[in-house]
Structures are given as structure tokens and as C-alpha cells.
């Protein structure tokens, strides 16, 4: 089989090379951001803790969104209509 047959969704080799290059650039940018934070006095442990807390926050937020969605369905309203009732901002 040709290498082309292994490409997902018929993607061209050039498109994959571009995607790889973009990911390399993002990786480099993240490495630079980490280096900047370390130079500002943050430790890797602190950064790991912040990342862990952000993951936990996102999981809790997702659960809250799911509950709001279910409540909205039960009440026959949109989730957006529930926000004022619970003192939530649309950006929350």
C-alpha cells in the first residue's frame, strides 16, 4: 500500500507537513512561555499545580454547565435564561 492510503481523510502530505510545522511552532512558543515564567521566579511545581487546578476548575465548570443544560430542558427554557437566576455572567 502507498503512504497516501494511510493518510486520514485523504489529507495530502503537504497539509500534514504544514500541520506538523504549526505544532512545532506552538511547542516552541509554549517552551518560551515556560522559560519566561521560570525566569520570573515561578517553579515547575507551581506551574504543575496551576495546571492541575485549571483542569479541576474546567471539570467542575463542565459539570455545572451540564446541570444547567438539564435544568433548562426540564423547565423548557434556554441555558442563557437561567444565568440571571443564579447570578452567572454569560462569560462564566
Query: Can you give the pLDDT of all 92 residues of the chain as single tens digits?
Result: 445 555 555 558 888 999 999 999 999 999 999 899 889 998 889 889 999 999 999 999 999 999 999 999 999 999 999 999 989 888 76
Q: Give the angle 63-51-36 at the CA atoms, nearest 5°.
A: 150
Separation of CA 8 from chain center: 23
**Residue 89 DSSP class:** -
Residue with cell 438539564: 70
H-assigned helices in the chain: 13-39, 44-75, 79-82
Give me 68's grid cell. Answer: 444547567
Number of alpha carbons in the 13 Å side-chain half-sphere of residue 34:
14
- What is the per-residue pLDDT for 89? 87
Amino acid at each position: 500500500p502507498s503512504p497516501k492510503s494511510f493518510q486520514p481523510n485523504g489529507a495530502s502530505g503537504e497539509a500534514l507537513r504544514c500541520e506538523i510545522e504549526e505544532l512545532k511552532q506552538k511547542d516552541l512558543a509554549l517552551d518560551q512561555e515556560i522559560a519566561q515564567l521560570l525566569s520570573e521566579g515561578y517553579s515547575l511545581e507551581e506551574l504543575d499545580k496551576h495546571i492541575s487546578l485549571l483542569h479541576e476548575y474546567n471539570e467542575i465548570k463542565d459539570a455545572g454547565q451540564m446541570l444547567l443544560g438539564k435544568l433548562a430542558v426540564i423547565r423548557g427554557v434556554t441555558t442563557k435564561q437561567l444565568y440571571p437566576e443564579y447570578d452567572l455572567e454569560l462569560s462564566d
